[in-house]
A and B are shown apart, each in its own frame.
Chain A
Amino acid sequence: MLEFDDIQHILVTRVPALTGRYEFLSFRQPAQGRAWLAGIIDKVASAKEAQASVQTENRWVSVAFTWSGLRALGLDEAPLATFPEEFRQGMVARAQMLGDTGANHPDHWIGGLASPDLHAIAILFARDPSERQRSTQEHQAFLAQIPGVQVLSTLDLDALPPFDYARDHFGYRDRLSQPEIEGTGIEPTRGSGAPIKAGEFILGYPDENGPPVGLPQPDILSRNGSYMAYRRLQEHVGAFRDFLRQQGGPSTEEQEWLAAKLMGRWRSGAPLVLAPDKDDRALGADPQRNNNFDYARMDPHGYAVPLGAHIRRMNPRDTAVNMQRRRMIRRGATYGPPLPEGAPDDGVDRGIAAFVLCASLVRQFEFAQNVWINDPNFHELGNERDPIIGNQDGTFDMTIPRRPIRRKITGLPAFTTVKGGAYFFLPGIKALRYLSTLG
């Protein structure tokens, strides 16, 4: 039985928010950090609370800490040492393995995210901009009373118009393939696989391998917690559209075809496996159909979805082993204004700022980054990386299987750049109280 009253809602609940704000915090004194935490706990909704009030509530708050943040709250060295090595090291130290090199290197990150002074994140999702403004002012007023807590940076999130469904700045429909946790009662959509044991995402429960082991201690600290990898990805919309025009050809149809091949889905969300030749918007919008496909049986050679396409890398379905141990829960939103169609790139920072939630960063998040996204030899491709979020420096290719002969695009440009990231621990509600009363 999952303890929904102790699990932070972000792990389980998808809230109807059109806006949001992330605030990145640094604690100068443990007591001040704990005072901040004590003051905000009551605003952090559990999964149970969020579920009950999802229709009437207007804002949802989550809080999480880096490893140095737990120390900055006054947690002793003994419990600190029980956290797994990759979390203790932090995302910056893992940069090379994650593919955060070149333009993606932490040296170029913004908002103080590469700094060891990054201790905590407060995540706000709000139903509309006015609620975000109200909540932000409330938080500012609260912080004004606690001078030892410094805001390193903030980021406002805004869904993209016309708000009929979630999309990114490139125009792709998002949130189509999401693992479901066993015990939440939520049935996975067709093709999304069996529900996954809670321990793959929430600490303290059996995972796909059996009973939980090696959890951070004491128990109250880790129970109902999760690890959360944050990624801020700038999307180069102008470069993306230029690429489609240059490589796709003059017609919109050809450009749409190329965009679909990079992703594995038409921008409407319709999967290429089920709609290989032309877009099918009704299919893209139908949750009972838009994820109902596999690769080994339906598209073994990649004639529909190229072997290196984004969705085939992020979820190889039946063409990879141990899939149930590699899944991740994604949360997040877009930031920055949309770039109007036909407009040249205005240089404004826009993109996706997202969280990957999992029980093991090294086995789930880092594996996906290291092997699925950035291994040039994924599926024997030889010299390719994820065309959307891989570390692209102009030296990698993209092969598009096609009869009679394949199409090969050489020197793929980077459509995204990592502008920040961090490893956070998302404690359960009781663990938040435990942390707030240390010392």
Chain B
Amino acid sequence: MIGGGHLAYFAIMALREMDPSGRIVVIEFTSEKVDMLKKTFPFTEAVLSSIEEVENYISKNHFLIDVLVVATDSDALNLRYAKHSIKNDVPIVIAILNNPLNEPIFARENVRYVINPYKTITSKIKEIVGKFDVNVVYEFSKIDGGIYAIKVENAKTLKRVRGFILKNDSPFFVLSADKRIRAGSLEDIQIGDVVYVPCHSREIKSFLRKMGG
């Protein structure tokens, strides 16, 4: 991990949970932060480094690094380190964004795994308020797709949704207006239901185009 701040906390806990006997090295740039890391995460190796030295560290140890998470408070620095790691064949490079607007910029630079911690805010608010056509509930990291919620507001949408599921042979489940979760047949979908469909992003984009969205 490069950066041991607020967002990094959750990444460190996730890594620890996945592999309790694995080795986690966290690099920070001030001795105060390194001391804090040692106290908060005694199972990690907290390393003090300078901004320039990190690239040398990655170059020297690239063959040992399985997963590199860049989580400093600067997206510019995160992008720099991510690109350097990819160039050094680190297998999994994950960037945690500070500014969601940088997501396409990271994608353009071939940083494959980018976590936008703010995406949940949009989809959660839409889910809570309940006013949407299509809501992105979850996006897969390794394939270009996700789970999408489609609100069936009227007969036209109902027809389109049934057509979409049939055409793509998609699995689905339904969250009905009376808060029941059902996996049933297409005929069971009614107006007022929210249909959850896992599919590729190109399929949902095609659906949105047909809906005029």
Q: Tell whether A and B belong to one assembly.
A: no
Q: B residues within 8 Å of A by Cβ?
A: none
